[in-house]
């Protein structure tokens, strides 16, 4: 193992930042160990390790400086660079690349494709920083100010439901010139077949994600697809109507790449893809998809510990899209809002948002032809599964188990991650109720399913089970479960 590098004296930058964050040296060391384990690394830093970094100027070998910055950034609620902690490495790519949602929608394709062209470079990946909810402030504000465009009459052949606006977008507040103008120039014009190919790629990515998790090799190749297939189309000639569809599907592909990074614990990179997805949906005049992207961003925020910001994002998405989006899409915004209220420990607000989501799903039964196919997975049975998680978070196991009883079973061979997560959620609810037998049984089922899946997020749900087992940690069968979990999921518990 390479020895830590030494600086000429104390690292005052790091010492000041630790003080500003309010972290003790012991708690910082613990968080760095946790982040290292999530990357498959075994590190056992203690408070004296932190003292070596601050007082003696020692720099641990990569990637630990990035994890130190991530731990401090999460405490401070903003990105923290390696330079701020006195452990900077030369960066060859602009650190803010991908974080901009341009004020002028006509710049969306240029900004997104520039980001995609750099995103696979090792130097970029090592300098993307940490998740910080504050980087969403400007993009979200700009989307809320001008979320989409009034749609011109469709002069292209009718597309699948993925493409059709679900509501009369001429009711939107923005001016018509925000729709992507027809792009002229030399070269082959983008066709309906090109756009349908992109939607097929998005659908395949969704299937692989559900079955194998965000870390699967197929999803990893989707970033290359954005650069090699989507980028050339965005710079090719297209009609105004095809342009709207091209921007919409490009948005969904970027959202899916962001989702895969989010699911696999690469949150800062996920943020950049989500921001570009929001920008492209806005440039394409697709308010419905923009609201969906924004609600996905809110889900990331609440799971990273920022439920208040997530509530604002969901409420903003709902208010801006409520006269335009299909009921099922609006139901998603209210459902994520309910989950955020639960994380904020507000049972009344959570119940209100959940009831609104359920009501919107009732409305969706009468308008199935008006909704995009990418939201079709959100059914009453799926809502019931999320409701179980909401009440688990509120430490109300009785309600959680009642909602779970209404959740229809899903095929584990295609929805592997979702089924595994549900087992973990319900198992935790049983443990909250004091039912060790049921909790262990479902915990084992979760482990057996999730060992097939590359998903840091799914493993976090299993950690919820292991944390709930704390009152029984001395029992032999609990120790056996913990050993089994460590061996099967290669995770610290």
The answer to whether 411 touches 447, Cβ cutoff 8 Å, is no
> Per the domain annotation, does 129 fall within a domain?
yes
> Per the domain annotation, does 123 fall within a domain?
yes
> Per the domain annotation, does 340 fall within a domain?
no
> Per the domain annotation, does 462 fall within a domain?
no
Global confidence as pTM: 0.77
For residues 128 and 277, membership in a common domain is answered with: yes
Helices (H), 239-373: 240-263, 267-283, 287-303, 307-321, 327-343, 347-364
Q: Which long-range contacts (CB under 8 A, 24 or more apart) does 306-310 make?
A: 306/77, 306/133, 307/340, 307/341, 307/343, 307/344, 308/340, 308/344, 309/133, 309/136, 310/336, 310/337, 310/339, 310/340, 310/343
> Per the domain annotation, does 457 fall within a domain?
no
For residues 161 and 207, membership in a common domain is answered with: yes
For residues 126 and 71, membership in a common domain is answered with: no
For residues 265 and 317, membership in a common domain is answered with: yes
Secondary structure of 391-429 in the HEC alphabet? HHHCCCHHHHHHHHHHCCCCCCCCCHHHHHHHHHHHHHH
How far apart, in whole angstroms, are the C-alpha atoms of residue 94 and residue 102? 16
How far apart, in whole angstroms, are the C-alpha atoms of residue 76 and residue 223? 30
Range of the domain at 16: 5-76
Give the pLDDT score at 38. 74
Give the pLDDT score at 109. 92
How far apart, in whole angstroms, are the C-alpha atoms of residue 352 and residue 348? 6
**Looking at 325, 348, 377, which one is the last position of a domain?**
325
Give the pLDDT score at 90. 47
For residues 115 and 49, membership in a common domain is answered with: no
Give the pLDDT score at 154. 26
**Looking at 49, 76, 103, which one is the last position of a domain?**
76
Give the pLDDT score at 366. 82
Q: Tens-digit pLDDT profile for the chain (493 aa)?
A: 444 454 457 888 899 889 888 999 999 999 999 888 877 677 889 988 999 899 888 888 878 888 898 899 888 888 888 888 988 764 455 678 889 899 888 899 999 998 998 886 554 555 566 889 999 999 999 999 989 753 332 233 333 333 333 222 222 223 323 556 566 555 688 999 999 999 999 999 999 999 999 888 777 788 889 988 999 899 889 999 999 999 999 999 999 999 999 999 999 999 999 999 999 999 999 999 999 999 999 999 999 999 999 999 999 999 999 999 999 999 999 999 999 999 999 999 999 999 999 999 999 988 766 789 899 999 998 999 999 999 999 999 999 999 999 887 888 888 899 999 999 999 999 999 999 999 999 999 999 999 999 999 999 999 999 999 999 999 999 999 999 999 999 877 6
For residues 16 and 156, membership in a common domain is answered with: no
Phi-psi domain of 318 (left: phi exceeds 0; alpha: psi -120 through 50; beta: other): alpha
> Per the domain annotation, does 121 fall within a domain?
yes
What is the CATH classification number for the domain harbouring 61?
1.10.260
Give the pLDDT score at 8. 52
Number of domains in the chain: 2
User: For 39, phi and psi rounded to 5 degrees?
Assistant: -95, 5
Q: What is the DSSP letter of 161?
A: T
The answer to whether 396 touches 347, Cβ cutoff 8 Å, is yes
For residues 49 and 103, membership in a common domain is answered with: no
**Looking at 24, 47, 76, which one is the last position of a domain?**
76
> Per the domain annotation, does 20 fall within a domain?
yes
> Per the domain annotation, does 371 fall within a domain?
no
């Amino acid at each position: 193992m390479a020895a830590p590098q030494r600086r000429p004296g104390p690292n005052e930058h790091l010492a000041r930042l630790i003080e500003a964050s309010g972290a003790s040296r012991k708690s910082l060391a613990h968080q760095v160990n946790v982040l290292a384990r999530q990357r498959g690394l075994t590190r056992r830093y203690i408070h004296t390790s932190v003292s070596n970094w601050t007082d003696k100027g020692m720099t641990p070998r990569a990637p630990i400086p990035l994890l130190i910055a991530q731990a401090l950034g999460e405490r401070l609620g903003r990105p923290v660079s390696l330079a701020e902690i006195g452990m900077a490495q030369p960066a060859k790519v602009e650190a803010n690349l991908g974080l901009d949602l341009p004020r002028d929608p006509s710049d969306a394709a240029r900004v997104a494709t520039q980001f995609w062209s750099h995103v696979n470079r090792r130097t970029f990946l090592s300098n993307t920083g940490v998740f910080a909810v504050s980087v969403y402030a400007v993009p979200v504000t700009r989307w809320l100010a001008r979320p989409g465009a009034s749609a011109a009459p469709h002069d292209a052949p009718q597309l699948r439901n993925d493409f059709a606006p679900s509501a009369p977008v001429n009711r939107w507040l923005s001016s018509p010139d925000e729709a992507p103008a027809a792009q002229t120039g030399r070269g082959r014009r983008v066709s309906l077949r090109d756009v349908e190919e992109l939607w097929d790629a998005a659908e395949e990515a969704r299937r692989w994600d559900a079955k194998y998790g965000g870390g699967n090799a197929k999803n990893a190749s989707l970033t290359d697809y954005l650069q090699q297939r989507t980028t050339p189309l965005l710079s090719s000639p297209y009609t105004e109507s095809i342009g709207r569809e091209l921007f919409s599907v490009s948005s969904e592909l970027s959202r899916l790449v962001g989702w895969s990074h989010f699911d696999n614990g690469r949150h800062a990179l996920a943020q950049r893809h989500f921001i570009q997805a929001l920008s492209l949906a806005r440039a394409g005049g697709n308010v419905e998809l923009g609201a969906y992207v924004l609600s996905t961003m809110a889900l990331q925020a609440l799971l990273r510990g920022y439920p208040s910001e997530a509530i604002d994002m969901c409420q903003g998405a709902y208010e801006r899209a409520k006269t335009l989006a299909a009921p099922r899409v609006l139901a998603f915004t209210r459902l994520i809002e309910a989950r955020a209220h639960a994380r904020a420990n507000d049972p009344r607000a959570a119940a209100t948002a959940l009831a609104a989501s359920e009501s919107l799903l009732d409305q969706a039964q009468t308008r199935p032809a008006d909704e995009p196919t990418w939201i079709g997975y959100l059914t009453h049975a799926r809502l019931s599964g999320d409701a179980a998680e909401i009440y688990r978070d509120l430490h109300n196991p009785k309600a959680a188990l009642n909602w779970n009883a209404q959740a229809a079973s899903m095929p584990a061979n295609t929805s592997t991650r979702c089924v595994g997560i549900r087992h973990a959620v319900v198992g935790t609810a049983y443990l909250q109720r004091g039912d060790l037998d049921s909790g262990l049984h479902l915990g084992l089922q979760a482990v057996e399913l999730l060992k097939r899946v590359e998903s840091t997020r799914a493993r976090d749900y299993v950690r919820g089970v292991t944390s709930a087992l704390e009152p029984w940690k001395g029992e032999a069968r609990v120790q056996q479960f913990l050993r089994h979990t460590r061996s099967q999921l290669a995770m610290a518990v």
